[in-house]
Structure 1
């Protein structure tokens, strides 16, 4: 698809920055540097680890001939400005969660997370084995981006609340932070949805600008201090069952790299994707134990609330299926999820349930 034609004809195109010619590549003594902007403050637990893992991988694989100069949110551009900065050539690449950019195109959500979508293993099957990566590239190229998954948080928590959620009615008028299509689903329940980058969440809760929030999971949430301002936590959520993180390189810049450097970026991103998943999974359970021991109250949403989440999510997703590339990506992801889950529920789900039952008797 021709990018200019897409942006001219799409109602979403008005928010996408037109690509401009890139500044001369940063090359010194035969070494090339890519400037990366990110949606994360420097050092933010888990997500910044993915930035560092990817950057270190690139330097190691290329023996230092290609390096990444990673900038935290606000150091060069704001957290939610990274997409436009890279498409405009003001930076070479970004690292972030692509659902922040559903305003540019709603299909970007599939390369982070969609409500009632894929778990982390299901995402990996789709992306690497069933065409997801090619679709990521196809969508990115409309905007002059070459994209790869480069992080994975696993299932994200349902969120932090000042008061226990007793029914669907409790979402009416609630000031809650949730980006992406999950946030759009909550809005259908009457929630006043806010889209804030991670570095702004704590202050918004402290001042009362928010009544609650989701962030990532117990480990990252504890590091952010959310337990200091909200006492009720829901570990299971509908909105991000397996949230991926991405890097996206300005395509003109990427195509100007050597094949070896292009391959280094691809391989480094894939390694960061799987390593980040292990990092979150290994830290979440101990963090949850600490939070509960400190007095945080743990809850589960009722079936009625889950049903409302599901209905609202279906309305949001179906609302974009008249867009050709959204429909293509949606069907690809749904098909892969159905196939993968069809096997997993007969194997992994049965095994883990039986393992829990058997070991509890020993």
Structure 2
């Protein structure tokens, strides 16, 4: 056989092999289209954008075979009903904060954000390496859901107020939009909590339906324009030392996916989780400068208020632990991790950060 004949036959053989392999590849990468309902409006590119990161990565990595269509709050269902939409089969997935559904069971809130819990690094460590994802999914399985972290905001601000808050007494009778069950803690101090979706907050604050609101932090809050109607911007948001936004998938639907698609969802969700925190860390510094330049008055909750809130939060937790075994199991895990985590944080990270902050204040950076 001459060389030309050998190469021709080899090439034909390779082509045949490729032809035979194609059906197997097609079978293992089926064409699937899901719908995902977000709790957030498109205007909030950071928090809404987490779902777009997931969608883009999944579609590109599957060569276009696995598509997840993202719908903003209100396009399919209202923002606070997206988990129900997954549970009843209206959509296959949603992107939301678990604490929106704490009224069903306070356990929903624990993996998202609760008062005086962990910061962003600590919460991610607990989720991915402290058993948090598995513990939360034991709970979610009873709702027909499977959850994965899909973003983190970092420590949030304490919110926008029409008047100064100088003592615990100033909370009494105050109507405030506050997410999660932080409202239950503040309710013990006389505040009247309101659960309002992101897109509806500004009109409520402008009309005086509420006296104060919290949302996330400088970048998103600036977009929503709260500084125009409430001049006092308090910190820290002790009810959200960080917030994990979750992807909730239909458990039935995710289990029916090929293994490679399941693995792809895990990878893309973790990428979206990291990406969101990085964006906030990049965009918040410039936003806080703009807000102050526009007349925003930054105010810290004083130690008296912080201690009163901490005490009230622990009282709420004690009641919930006594009556709700699932809550007690997950909160117990967070508490155990929290103690060791902050013991470590006060050594290297805290001392490095505070030194650098002092140098920054002194104008040396």
TM-score (ref. length: structure 1): 0.89
Cα distance in 2, alignment partners of residues 238 and 206 from structure 1: 25
Per mean C-alpha deviation after superposition, the further-off stretch among 59-68 and 151-160 is 59-68
Cα distance in 2, alignment partners of residues 222 and 46 from structure 1: 13
The match for 1:8 is: none
Q: CA deviation at 1:355?
A: 3.0
- The question of 1:288 aligning with 2:283 is answered no
Q: CA deviation at 1:354?
A: 2.5
The match for 1:116 is: 116
Deviation digits for residues 293-325 of structure 1, max 9, x if unmatched?
Answer: 111111111111111111111112122113111
Query: Is the CA contact 1:115–1:182 (under 8 Å) kept in the aligned structure 2?
Result: yes
The match for 2:234 is: 234
Query: Is the CA contact 1:43–1:49 (under 8 Å) kept in the aligned structure 2?
Result: no
Per mean C-alpha deviation after superposition, the further-off stretch among 33-42 and 139-148 is 33-42
Structure 2 runs not aligned, ≥5 long: 1-28
* Mapping 1:167-206, distance limit 5 Å: 167-206=167-206
Query: Is the CA contact 2:37–2:91 (under 8 Å) kept in the aligned structure 1?
Result: yes
Other structure's SS at 2:103 match: coil
The structure number with the bigger radius of gyration is 2
- The question of 1:315 aligning with 2:315 is answered yes
The match for 2:89 is: 89
Query: Is the CA contact 1:181–1:316 (under 8 Å) kept in the aligned structure 2?
Result: no
In structure 2, the CA distance between the partners of 1:58 and 1:171, relative to structure 1 (3 Å rule), is same
Cα distance in 2, alignment partners of residues 119 and 110 from structure 1: 13
* Mapping 1:143-222, distance limit 5 Å: 143-222=143-222
Query: Is the CA contact 1:217–1:235 (under 8 Å) kept in the aligned structure 2?
Result: no
Other structure's SS at 1:247 match: strand
Higher helix proportion (structure 1 or 2) = 2
The match for 1:334 is: 335
Other structure's SS at 1:349 match: helix
Query: Is the CA contact 2:147–2:247 (under 8 Å) kept in the aligned structure 1?
Result: yes
Cα distance in 2, alignment partners of residues 327 and 80 from structure 1: 25
The match for 1:353 is: 354
- The question of 1:258 aligning with 2:287 is answered no
TM-score (ref. length: structure 2): 0.89
* Mapping 1:63-78, distance limit 5 Å: 63-78=63-78
Query: Is the CA contact 2:38–2:82 (under 8 Å) kept in the aligned structure 1?
Result: yes
- The question of 1:127 aligning with 2:100 is answered no
Query: Is the CA contact 1:58–1:265 (under 8 Å) kept in the aligned structure 2?
Result: yes
Measured on the aligned residues, the alpha-carbon RMSD in Å equals 1.4
In structure 2, the CA distance between the partners of 1:62 and 1:298, relative to structure 1 (3 Å rule), is same
The match for 1:297 is: 297
Cα distance in 2, alignment partners of residues 314 and 224 from structure 1: 32
Q: CA deviation at 1:134?
A: 0.7
Cα distance in 1, alignment partners of residues 355 and 253 from structure 2: 52
Q: CA deviation at 1:235?
A: 3.0
Other structure's SS at 1:316 match: helix
The match for 2:225 is: 225
Cα distance in 2, alignment partners of residues 354 and 207 from structure 1: 44
Query: Is the CA contact 2:235–2:301 (under 8 Å) kept in the aligned structure 1?
Result: no
Structure 1 runs not aligned, ≥5 long: 1-28
- The question of 1:51 aligning with 2:51 is answered yes
- The question of 1:272 aligning with 2:272 is answered yes
Structure 1 consecutive aligned stretches of length 4 or more whose deviation exceeds 4 Å: none
Other structure's SS at 1:288 match: helix
Q: CA deviation at 1:332?
A: 0.7
Q: CA deviation at 1:45?
A: 3.4
